[in-house]
Amino acid sequence: FDPARSDRVFTIGMRDILESLTLPGLMAHIRQHAPGISVNSIQVERHDIADALRQGRVDAAVDIALPVSAEVSHTRLVLDKLVVVARAGHPVIGKGPLRLDTYLEASHVQVSARRQGLGLEDYELSRQGLRRHIGLRCRHYFAGCRVVSQTDMLLTMPEQYARVANQHFDNTLHSFPLSAAQLDAHLYWNAALDDDPTNRWFRQQVIEAVRQELAAAQTSA
């Protein structure tokens, strides 16, 4: 496989939160070193990832840690945790640790592709018999970050993506006031292609793109 001469189209399954983390660096590298290659990013439902990989509908997929069979190989891309996003100059939140009572008194943006249901942060709260007020439910974290930048609402989201998504907003990040479960994002591929040079090359580009994006976000934080 010669990427510099290839006109291959790679298809990767991922959600919008992971597109912003993965695609900029991935495409910058491909445009420089393999300009004939194209990438399609599509959403694949979690229950369909194994079949999509086996049938060749996608070359790889990125999603949270999932139970998978031996026919699916995977590696961890990101180990993450929850943070709370607030606008700079928020009238209640200072520079110290975000207090739980302050968090509960605020109005929140919840991001979910589903019409209803709890987020991970709500499960963490419910374990202690707590609830928060959802002022807005929307589908995309970027929209949520923009809403937060213009209001006194709060948004709870994964830290690594929060650093990327808020680079151009005057927002601040705060630790989630409860100990939250870790959030893993994994790269998945068909195990039959473990040693396939074409698939292996594409996987390496995805891994390196995420690594560089996270390093850049940490540097600018």
For domain 9-79+183-220, the CATH architecture is: 3-Layer(aba) Sandwich (3.40)
Q: What three-state secondary structure class fits 176?
A: coil
- Let me know if domain 82-175 sits in CATH 3.40.190.10: yes
Interval 35-58: pLDDT, tens: 999 999 998 988 899 999 999 999
Decide the pairing of beta strands 171-175 and 82-87.
antiparallel
Interval 125-181: pLDDT, tens: 888 899 899 999 998 888 999 999 999 999 998 888 888 888 888 899 998 888 766
Q: Are 61 and 188 in contact (CB under 8 A)?
A: yes
What is the model's pTM?
Answer: 0.75
Residues of CATH 3.40.190.10 domain(s) within the chain? Answer: 9-79+183-220, 82-175
